[in-house]
């Protein structure tokens, strides 16, 4: 991999042009960004992951060049690898799996005096609440022995939730916390450092809204929410949630709620109430972990892209198929006769990429499965996690 220790020409051109437009158009304020200029490299920049353009927002406002760790799937897309590696100096990371290449690449970049940015949560939040990450991150940053700069992306969930069809209008802020210095890091155990990182990175949109009361305005604020809300709390049916304007409705029992500019829910039909999307989503995750979830009947989702591949390329297998949740796994059926079944017990890892795409390793083979825009890809990951937890509990 090419080492990029200085701000590349592409970034020097893009930052005062497209970067400036991006910040102004999205009303992005930054607080404490000067700390990046005064802190001597190398160091790590880490933060909560909310928006598809998190790294672009930060780099546009940053006085220094940051080499971002990016999902490996981006490097496999036609024409993107040379741009990511040579023009911006990005570092590839295979999400959801241990990647020694990435660790070495980050280490090499830091040795060259670079500034490396990453999002430990690995995936964007679906409901504005912290996603969390495992203790390996604490071990990793401790091993590098460089300062850590934590950033909070405040209000970016309100600007455009991951599930939302349309952007809203409102202010957001990039807040830089005081750096955690190497001597402080070395004085903590891995468990202590892990707890601190969880606390510092674990930004809660709900708590932030309670303190700041910032409205995010859109006449279509709830549209797309069926990508995260896949169970009705009133009738316990799966795949019956629809959205229009600011209203969320169950097609089976007609229960409904409205979403206000502060992302609070107000029940308009029915008796079951949640304060916000995060509370509803938390209930879903808890419910599918119960034995009763085996009786849930999930309707099939329309698939638009099925791929397999290796570290360097992707091979398209199908563009028309159905994906459906089953009690023990996921099934794929296509018009061409290609039928696949992925048992949860045989899946090594599963994560969600951009554009409603599932990326998983089944029997050590990589598959990428994309469904239609309004489909809920999240339910597959959360059912997989619930099943794995149950299997591990039985084995303990």
The reported pLDDT for the residue numbered 252 is 97
Show me where the domains of the chain are located: 9-212, 225-287, 295-395
Read off the tokens for 342. Answer: 């992925």
pLDDT bucket at 14, cuts 50 / 70 / 90 = confident
* End-to-end C-alpha distance for the chain, whole angstroms: 42
Q: What is the pLDDT of residues 262-281, one digit of tens each?
A: 999 999 999 988 999 999 99
pLDDT at 115 over 70: yes
Q: What is the pLDDT of residue 94?
A: 57
- CA-nearest of 337, 375, 340 to 360 is 340
Q: Which residue has the tokens 């061409």?
A: 336
Alpha-carbon distances, residue 209 vs 157, 172, 186, 213 (angstroms)? 11, 12, 35, 5
Tokens of 323: 């994906």
- Find all residues with CB under 8 Å of 111, minimum gap 6, and list them: 42
- Maximum Cα–Cα distance across the chain: 61
Least confident of 99-103, 180-184, 237-241, 246-250: 99-103
As a three-state string, the secondary structure of 294-305 is HHCCCCCEEEEE
CB neighbour list of residue 57: distance below 8 Å, 6 or more residues apart: 22, 23, 26, 28, 51, 153, 156, 174
User: What does CATH list as the number for 295-395?
Assistant: 2.30.29.30
My answer on whether omega of the bond before 141 falls inside 30° of 0, hence cis, is: no
Taking the C-alpha atoms of residue 56 and residue 15, their distance in angstroms, rounded to an integer, is 9
* CB within 8 Å of 143: residues ≥ 6 apart: none
pLDDT in tens, 82-95: 455 555 566 776 55
> Which pLDDT value is given to residue 90?
66
Give me the pLDDT at residue 78, please: 47
Pairing of strands 314-318, 339-343: unpaired
At 119-142, the pLDDT tens digits run 999 889 999 999 999 999 999 999
More confident residue, 390 or 173: 173
Under the banding of pLDDT at 50, 70 and 90, the label for residue 309 is confident
Percentage of the chain exceeding pLDDT 90: 76
Q: What average pLDDT score do residues 277-295 get?
A: 94
Q: Across the chain, what does the average pLDDT equal? A: 90
Reading the block at residue 227, the tokens are 């990508």
Beta partners for residue 6, in sequence order: none
The tokens for 87 are 């023009």
Q: Residue with structure tokens 């034995």?
A: 291
Q: pLDDT value at position 167?
A: 95
- Answer for the pair 395, 380: CB distance below 8 angstroms, yes or no: no
pLDDT at 211 over 70: yes
What's residue 1's pLDDT? 38
Instruction: Report whether 396 contacts 388 (CB < 8 A).
Output: no
Q: 265-269 and 321-326: which strand pairing? A: unpaired
Model confidence at 76, in pLDDT bands (50, 70, 90)? Answer: very low
Helix axes of 100-111 and 136-144: crossing angle, nearest 10 degrees: 30
10 pLDDT higher than 80: no
* Cut 0.85: pTM above it: yes
Is residue 146 over pLDDT 60? yes
The phi and psi torsions of 192 (rounded to 5 degrees) equal -70, -40
pLDDT of res. 75: 47
pLDDT of residue 81: 52
User: Across the chain, how many H-helices and E-strands are there?
Assistant: 14, 19
Of 156 and 6, which is predicted with more confidence? 156
Quote the CA–CA distance of 176 and 125 in Å, as a whole number: 19
Return the pLDDT at 3.
Answer: 41
| Structure confidence by residue, pLDDT tens digits, 333-376 | 998 999 999 999 999 999 998 789 999 999 889 999 999 988 99
Q: What value does the mean pLDDT take over residues 56-84?
A: 72
Domains 9-212 and 295-395 belong to one CATH topology: no
pLDDT at 245: 98
Q: Which is the CATH superfamily of the domain at 9-212?
A: Glycerol-3-phosphate (1)-acyltransferase (3.40.1130.10)
């Amino acid at each position: 991999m090419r080492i990029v220790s200085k701000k590349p020409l592409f970034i020097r051109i893009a930052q005062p042009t497209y970067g400036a437009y991006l910040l102004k158009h999205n009303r992005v304020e930054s607080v404490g960004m000067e700390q990046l200029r005064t802190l001597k490299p190398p160091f790590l920049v880490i933060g909560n992951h909310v928006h598809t353009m998190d790294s672009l927002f930060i780099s546009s406002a940053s006085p220094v060049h940051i080499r971002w760790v990016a999902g490996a799937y981006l490097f496999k897309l036609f024409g993107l690898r040379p741009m990511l590696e040579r023009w911006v100096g990005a570092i590839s990371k295979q999400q959801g799996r241990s990647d020694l290449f990435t660790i070495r690449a980050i280490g090499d970049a830091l040795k060259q005096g670079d500034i490396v940015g990453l999002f430990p949560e690995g995936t964007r939040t679906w409901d504005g609440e912290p996603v969390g990450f495992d203790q390996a991150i604490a071990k990793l940053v401790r091993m590098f022995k460089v300062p850590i700069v934590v950033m909070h992306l405040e209000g970016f969930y309100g600007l455009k939730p991951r599930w939302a069809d349309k952007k809203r209008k409102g202010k957001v802020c990039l807040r830089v916390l005081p750096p955690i210095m190497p001597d402080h890091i070395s004085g903590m155990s891995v468990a202590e450092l892990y707890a601190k990182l969880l606390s510092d990175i674990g930004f809660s949109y709900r708590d932030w809204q309670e303190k700041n009361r910032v409205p995010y305005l859109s006449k279509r604020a709830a549209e797309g929410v069926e990508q995260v809300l896949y169970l009705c709390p009133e009738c316990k049916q799966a795949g019956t949630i629809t959205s229009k304007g600011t209203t969320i409705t169950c097609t089976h029992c007609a229960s409904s709620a409205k979403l206000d500019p502060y992302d609070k829910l107000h029940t308009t039909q029915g008796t079951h109430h949640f304060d916000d999307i995060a509370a509803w989503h938390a209930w879903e995750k808890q419910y599918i972990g119960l034995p009763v979830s085996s009786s849930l009947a999930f309707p099939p989702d329309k698939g638009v892209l099925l791929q397999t591949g290796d570290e360097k390329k992707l091979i398209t297998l199908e563009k028309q198929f159905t994906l459906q949740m089953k009690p023990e796994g996921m099934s794929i059926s296509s018009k061409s006769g290609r039928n696949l079944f992925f048992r949860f017990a045989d899946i090594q890892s599963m994560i969600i990429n951009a554009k409603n795409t599932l990326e998983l390793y089944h029997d050590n083979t990589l598959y990428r499965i994309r469904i239609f825009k309004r489909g809920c890809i999240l339910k597959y990951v959360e059912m997989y996690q619930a099943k794995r937890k149950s299997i591990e509990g039985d084995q303990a």
